[in-house]
Amino acid sequence: MSRSAAPPYKRVDFPGSQGAALSGRLELPEGEPRAVALFAHCFTCGKDTVAASRISRALTGHGIAVLRFDFTGLGQSGGDFGSTDFSSNVGDLVAAAEHLEEVIGPPALLVGHSLGGAAVLAAAQRIPTTRAVATVGAPADPAHVRRLLGQGVNALEGAEVAEVCLAGRTFRISRRFLDDIEAQPQAERIAHLGVPLLVMHSPTDDTVGIDNARRIFDAARHPKSFVALDGADHLLTRPSDARFVADILAVWALRHVDAGRAPVPSARDRPRRGEFGAQGAQHLDGDPRSGRGEVPG
């Protein structure tokens, strides 16, 4: 299929974690899907952002069906964003996975951009069909969002809900949202992820710094890989960066989620760094501290 050709898709709607109807777009490859993926967008963004749309469409070129949707209260989804929090976002992902199972098949691959990356790390153990997780520009801790809110956090002093300005847009944020992101046991979740992890991050990301990639990578167990997105901005606004992410992601993911391949071994059976598996293939992993990244060949 030509890169310029728009892949077929279906508009989907399903109930989210708070009961509101969530709007999604299911991108479909030509022929039978080799795998099904679920994509989580960035904080206060939506399913139609440049990164979400380009990565999802590019993945279909590798035979992967992808569902991207708007979290509760955002984009075309119903509900009140001011009543949501990180936990409800995770619940929305679980609801999306359940809907996928009904319409095309359960998701084996979870992909998240920015705070969506933190959300898929948190949701993985609640979606039992997960066989691989990939993050793009993700914070190591959901509490990183407090920095993005800036002075808006002060507006919540003595108030339950306040309006904050993000990228020129006004959103209602609740005190519950702040309490919720502070209470997330993210490092523990990453350590017990139990499936292969791919961390992709730009060394020059000025929204979510590269140190976040190091913290995620260090907390995770093998097999794990890191790929540096040299020169990319946080939102992957340059088309070549989104295509690069999708191409690397697809090659890596299909080793683990392709329906025609055997399931990955359990965590206790996986070789440690530098050890050789039963097939004699060494597991190679990039390190965000070195600025270099390698994907197992």
- C-alpha–C-alpha distance, residues 128 and 18, integer Å: 21
**Which among 268, 18, 241, 280 has a CA at the least distance from the CA of 113?**
241
Please answer whether residues 191 and 224 qualify as being in contact, where contact means their C-beta atoms are separated by less than 8 angstroms.
no
Cis peptide before 223 (omega within 30 of 0): yes
Cβ neighbourhood burial of 101 (10 Å; 0-12, 13-18, 19+): middle
pLDDT of the chain, 297 residues: tens digit per residue: 444 456 688 999 999 999 999 999 999 999 999 999 999 999 889 999 989 999 999 899 999 999 999 999 999 999 999 899 999 999 999 999 999 999 999 999 999 999 999 999 999 999 999 999 999 999 999 999 888 887 677 777 777 887 777 766 788 888 889 999 999 999 999 999 999 999 999 999 999 999 999 999 999 999 999 999 999 999 999 999 999 999 999 999 999 987 555 554 444 344 443 332 332 223 334 556 544 443 332
Residues whose CB falls within 8 Å of the CB of residue 261, separated by 6 or more in sequence, listed in order? 254, 255
What's the pTM?
0.85
